[in-house]
Structures are given as C-alpha cells and as structure tokens.
Structure 1
C-alpha cells in the first residue's frame, strides 16, 4: 500500500521527477510494478518541496487520485526544487480525515511519509500513545496510523534525537508493539533523506556529489537503481548513502 519518493539534488521540476519518468509516482498511482500490498493508490496524494532561501517546505495535498487533479498537473509544470518528498496513498481502512491523512506530514523543516500499515491498528498502538505527551496527540492531523507514526518520530526529533536514531527507534518500538507491521518510513529536512525498509520495497538512485533519489520503487529502468535490504535504515545526502541493518525487537 502507498508509494513514496524523496529527492535531493540540483533544481528539478516536479514534472520531471514525478510525472515524466515512464514508471514515476504518477503512473504508480494505478500501475505500480513492485507494490506487494494493494494495487491502486487512489486515496489521496501529496507533494512537499523546498524553495531557495526558505527552510520550511510548502505542501500540496488532495484526497483523490493524483491523475484526477488538473491543478497538480499545472503545479508540477512550473514548480522546481532541489528537495522534494511526495507520496500517493492506498488507505489501510476507510476514514473521514480527507487530505489531512495524505502524506507528506510536516513540522518546521521536516517532511515525513509512511508506506505500510500498523498491524492491529489502533488497539496495538495504545500503549505507545500513553507514552506520548498530550500535546503530541492533540496535534495529530488525522486519525490514521501514518499520522500516529509521524507523531512518534516527531516526538523523538523534538527531544533531540538525530533523524536516523528517531526513525530506527520508532520502527523497532512499533514492530515490538504490533508484530507484522509494515514500516517503510521516509523523512527529509531538505538536505538529508532518512528512510527505513521494513516489510515493503525501498530503492535508491545515487549520483555521487550530485543527487540522491529514495523511492518505494524505481521510476525507470536505469541499471544504477539499488534495492535496500529489508530491515535497513538508509541515511543519504547528495554525496553519500549509508545503509545500516536494523535489529528485530526482542
């Protein structure tokens, strides 16, 4: 369920990253090639991007399928950015949250997306919710599992954890509380990309010193795409990609 992508590199048009590639995120909304759960991602979409000189990203999110929004086509034609996070959604279950449930979620300079599902949601997450400050729960944009996962990550970031530690600890905590969950997370601050592969596909395309793309699946057949092993934390910039194994919870 769901597909997402993050990019950091030279200025690039949204249309070049999301629409024009033969198997880009736009096409993945109805014809993903490597999606293991679900077949059509038509329950909302979102794009977040950074403008020069402004560390706080802009977002465009909608409730319907990306192919049915003519405003997105017009936006993608003119917007260019050196850092982007975008996602298309296949809802775990029906809900009334609308575009508030569509990634990317945001706070300050951060953009976040969750590709997967928390097993047994919401009962399985109740013990973790008890450990969150009341303010974090009151600020939830939506009642879906992805918004809750973002609250867990953001709580750690706010308390001073670096991005990789916040993502890794959130995944292992959720996996212990809700075994069988799929927890592919994607986070960027416009300079770095942090991601986890846990139960679903994750790939990256790296041009050293120039750009990095991290995505649920390749948007073309470039032979330099590399698959991230399951149970792995990815930390990337334009210049480097570091993969670190994640431990199964005891």
Structure 2
C-alpha cells in the first residue's frame, strides 16, 4: 500500500505541499491517519515535478524511507513547481527492484502512481500482460503490480485515449482479472490530474482558479477537503473538479450523462 498526492496550480515550493503540512505526505510515511492496509510507508518514496518551459517532469526517487533522506528535505525547501506527483510506498510483496519500484512512474509528460494492490500477482494479470507489445513489457521499470498497471494505462494513452478513459478502462480490466484489487490510480501531465477511487480513500482540495490537490488523505484539517466516493473517476485542473461514477461509464466517457461538477 502507499499514500500519494498530486498538485496543479500556482507555483509553490515542493516542501510546502509535502513536508510543511501537519499531516503531509512526509508525515504519512510513518503516521498516516486513514491508511486501511499496512501501517508504515518505508519501502521507498518519490516525487516528480515540472519546471517552467519543460513539459517533461524531473523525478527524485529513493528505495528507503523519506525521513532518512536529508537531501530530500533540503531539495524540497528550494525547488518550486506548478505541478507535482509524489508517493510514499509500503510494498505489498518483497522485491529486489528498490528505487525502480517507487512511484511516480513516468513516460514523456506523464507521471503516474498506484495506491493499492492486485491479488494473485503476478499470475492474475498474466493474461493482460500478454496483451501488451513485447517492447512495453521489456521496458517496465519494475517487476511489480503497479508497474504493469501503469503499462496497461500507458498503452491506452499512446493509443489516443483521453486520460479519464485510459484510467477507467484499465481499472475495470484489472479488477475483472483480479477481483478484490484496490486500484486508486493517480495521473498528471502537469496541467491536469486524473484519478480513480477504487478500494481506498481519496480526497481533494480545490481553490477554483488557483489550484487543486488530490491525495490519499488530507494533509491538514482544512474543512474544504472533500472525500471522493469509492468507484469514482476524478478529473481536476486549477479551474474545477469533475467526478464521474465508474459504474456508469460507457465507451464514450465524454458523453456520459452522469458526469457532474463537484460541489
């Protein structure tokens, strides 16, 4: 399991979003308040962020706990960004991939994270893995469920699907192959955030016209945080947040009648 967070909005120091809040992602690495599976997120961490004028994000990832990396807090204090995706990891199974298994995963302008687990891994997703081109399988960053879920979503993005359709179809496909899978997915291109709530907590904090934060749990006690219902697709920008029940998705997500602005 893990905790993750994505932000788009006005420029902020990374530390103001991840380290300074009283219950920020940094603290969630050892004291999450809402984590249902696992207790300590000490099996790696990562942050990806966007610099002005460059659509391809930078990443800083490590295999150990974030509290043991003094360089990260120094970096987070001075690096500023208008968009980021960060995660702290509690590995479902032991593995040798270390830093490579820590989110965010990346491809081109995209950053991705998976909060959850796939029962029966790897056998449960063997059939889906065979649907991918050999080049995609050989390019996996790590040999874990999250990396394969990312490969499935990325194949859809590269095939022309919109982010919401890509994540929604991936969740439905993986959940069908592995019943009981927990699939809270988080995706950003630096301007928008797309996420799914499927089996674990997801919250958002929106300041229309300024910023949006989507996270596994609130990083403070601001009453404006809103919880996303389970089995929901979220699409956010600094302008607004849209929620769509995943159970009502059709092949044409853009025309789904259930899509409504959040209140």
The TM-score, its normalising length taken from structure 2, stands at 0.94
CA distance, structure 1, for counterparts of residue 206 and residue 73 of structure 2? 27
1:10 corresponds to which residue?
10
1:182 corresponds to which residue?
182
Q: Deviations over 1:181-207 (max 9, x none)?
A: 000000000000000000000000000
Structure 1 residues 139 and 204 mapped into 2: Cα distance closer, same or farther (>3 Å)? same
Q: CA RMSD in A?
A: 0.9
2:22 corresponds to which residue?
22
Q: Note if contact 1:172-1:248 (Cα within 8 Å) is conserved in structure 2.
A: no
Q: Note if contact 1:212-1:236 (Cα within 8 Å) is conserved in structure 2.
A: yes
Q: Deviations over 1:210-236 (max 9, x none)?
A: 100000000000000000000000000
1:92 corresponds to which residue?
92
CA distance, structure 1, for counterparts of residue 25 and residue 140 of structure 2? 26
Is there any run of 5+ residues in structure 2 with no aligned partner, and where?
250-263
Does 1:81 pair with 2:60? Answer: no
Deviation at 1:248, TM superposition (A): 8.6
CA distance, structure 2, for counterparts of residue 244 and residue 14 of structure 1? 29
1:246 corresponds to which residue?
246
Q: Deviations over 1:12-42 (max 9, x none)?
A: 0011000000000000000000000000000
CA distance, structure 2, for counterparts of residue 245 and residue 184 of structure 1? 14
- Partner SS for 2:247: coil
Query: Mean Cα displacement is larger for which, 156-165 or 240-249?
Result: 240-249
2:49 corresponds to which residue?
49
- Partner SS for 2:96: coil
2:158 corresponds to which residue?
158
Is there any run of 5+ residues in structure 1 with no aligned partner, and where?
none
CA distance, structure 2, for counterparts of residue 85 and residue 65 of structure 1? 17
CA distance, structure 1, for counterparts of residue 36 and residue 180 of structure 2? 14
2:229 corresponds to which residue?
229
- Partner SS for 1:81: strand
- Partner SS for 2:172: helix
CA distance, structure 1, for counterparts of residue 248 and residue 134 of structure 2? 29
Q: Note if contact 1:204-1:225 (Cα within 8 Å) is conserved in structure 2.
A: yes
CA distance, structure 1, for counterparts of residue 248 and residue 127 of structure 2? 19
Deviation at 1:73, TM superposition (A): 1.1
Q: Note if contact 1:167-1:185 (Cα within 8 Å) is conserved in structure 2.
A: yes
Q: Deviations over 1:97-153 (max 9, x none)?
A: 010000000000000000000111000000101111111100000001000000000
The TM-score, its normalising length taken from structure 1, stands at 0.99
2:62 corresponds to which residue?
62
Deviation at 1:3, TM superposition (A): 0.2
Moved over 6 A (4+): none
CA distance, structure 1, for counterparts of residue 109 and residue 81 of structure 2? 15
